[in-house]
Amino acid sequence: MTACNVQYGLPTPGYGYPPGLSSLAPRMGGAGNYTYYPRFEAYYHRESKQFYYPNGKNWEVKPTVLSSTPREIFESASVPFQLPDHPSKYHEMVKRSYPADWTPGKGRFDESFQVSHSSWDIDRR
């Protein structure tokens, strides 16, 4: 039973998801369906292989972001998410939590889980 909790119940460690976004963190063993790149303010959707990003009041969906190459984007700091809806629904909170100059370990939030607890305790359901 413990292995089940470790594999499926804990958020992916190392990104310091704040309380409002911790429920959108991929669970250990999963990569999430979107990866957010703060420097570019863009989300990469793994399944469609497209970037989603705001452009004024509209959202673009393209294979790259403006004049950047995919390689340049993929080599920058990123945060995985498991988003149930379009990224625009969460973008303001994500952008505040992970500003353009964010890097792993900078401005981390206290992660609210411990390996010895079950997912019931972790998610406070």
Q: For 40, how many CA atoms within 13 A lie in the half-sphere containing its CB? A: 26
Residue 117 in this model has a pLDDT that exceeds 80: no
Closest Cα to residue 73, out of 81, 82, 62? 62
* DSSP state letter for 30: -
- For the chain, which residues make up each domain, given as ranges? 2-100
Closest Cα to residue 107, out of 45, 17, 12? 17
When pLDDT is averaged across residues 62-76 and rounded to a whole number, the result is: 90
pLDDT confidence bin for 122, thresholds 50/70/90:
very low
The Cα–Cα gap between 51 and 114 comes to 33
The Cα–Cα gap between 118 and 77 comes to 30
- The confidence score (pLDDT) of residue 4 equals 38
The Cα–Cα gap between 110 and 88 comes to 25
**Per-residue model confidence as pLDDT tens digits over 42-59:** 999 999 999 999 999 999
- Total residue count of the chain as it appears in this document: 125
